[in-house]
Structure 1
Amino acid sequence: MGMTTQFIIFLSVFFSLYGSMHFYVYRKITSQTTFPSVANIAIIIFLALMVVSPILSRTFTSKRIDGAGYILTLVSSFWIGFVFYLFLINVGVDIINISSKLISRAAFGGDPSLLIPKSYPTFFSILLIVIGICTYAYFEALNIGITRVAVQTSKLPEDVEELVIAQISDVHLGVLVGEKRLKKITRIIREVKPDILFSTGDLVDGNLDTMRGLAEEFRGINPRLGKYAVTGNHEFYAGIERSLRFTEDSGFMLLRNQYVNLNGIINLIGVDDPTAERFKNRAGEDISKLFSRCNPNLFTILLYRQPRKFRENAFLMPIDLQLSGHTHKGQLFPFNLITHIFFPLQGGLFEVNGKKLYASRGTGTWGPPLRFLSPPEIVVIKLESLKTKGNYSGRHKCTECHRHKEGKNDET
Structure 2
Amino acid sequence: MSFRTKRVFIATPFYMLFEFFLLKYLFLLFGGVKDVYLFIATLLLGGLQCIPMIFEEQKSTAAGRFFTEIFGIWQWSMLMILIDLIVIYVIKQFIDIPFGVVCILLAVVPILGVYNYYHAHKLIVKEHTLEFKNLKEEVNIVHLSDIHFGAVRYKKIINQVANKLNELSDSCDIAIISGDLADGSCGVKDDDFNAFKNVNMPILFTPGNHDFYPGIENVCRAAKKAGIIVLDDEKMEFKGLNIFGLSFTFGDKEDVSNEQLKQATDDDTVNIINYHVPYAWDLFARLGYNLQLSGHTHGGQFYPMNLFCKLMFKYNKGIFEENGNYLSVTTGVGSMDTPMRWGTDSELVILKLRKK
Q: TM-score when scaled to structure 2?
A: 0.90
Describe the shift of the 1:122–1:29 C-alpha distance in structure 2 as closer, same or farther (beyond 3 A).
farther
Q: 1:71 aligns with which of 49, 66, 75?
A: 66
- Correspondence 1:1-400 to 2 at 5 A: 11-12=9-10, 14-15=11-12, 17-34=14-31, 42-64=37-59, 66-95=61-90, 114-115=94-95, 117=97, 120-157=99-136, 160=137, 162-193=138-169, 194-206=172-184, 209=187, 213-223=191-201, 226-263=202-239, 265-274=240-249, 276=250, 279-282=251-254, 285-314=256-285, 316-386=286-356
More moved, 166-175 vs 122-131: 122-131
Structure 1 residue matching 2:128: 3-state secondary structure? strand
Return the letter of the residue paired with 2:30: T
1:272 is displaced (CA, Å) by: 1.2
1:320-349: CA deviations, max 9, x gaps? Answer: 111100010111211112222221211100
Partner Cα separation in structure 2 for residue 207 and residue 334 of structure 1? 24
More moved, 204-213 vs 181-190: 204-213
- How many residues align? The count is 353
1:96 is displaced (CA, Å) by: 5.1
1:178/1:211 contact within 8 Å kept:
no
1:65 is displaced (CA, Å) by: 6.2
1:153/1:384 contact within 8 Å kept:
yes
1:36-60: CA deviations, max 9, x gaps? Answer: 76xx755542233213422112013
Provide the residue aligned with 1:107 in structure 2: none
Specify every segment of 5 or more residues in structure 2 that has no aligned partner in the other structure, as ranges: none
1:93 is displaced (CA, Å) by: 3.5
Specify every segment of 5 or more residues in structure 1 that has no aligned partner in the other structure, as ranges: 98-112, 387-412
1:35 is displaced (CA, Å) by: 5.5
Partner Cα separation in structure 1 for residue 45 and residue 60 of structure 2? 19
Return the letter of the residue paired with 2:105: I
Return the letter of the residue paired with 2:267: P
Return the letter of the residue paired with 1:238: P
1:146/1:380 contact within 8 Å kept:
yes
Pair member with larger Rg = 1
What RMSD in Å do the two structures reach over aligned CA positions?
A: 2.6
1:110-160: CA deviations, max 9, x gaps? Answer: xxx53363x643542232110011110000011110011111122122xx2
1:309 is displaced (CA, Å) by: 2.1
1:220-253: CA deviations, max 9, x gaps? Answer: 1142xx3211111111111111111112122222
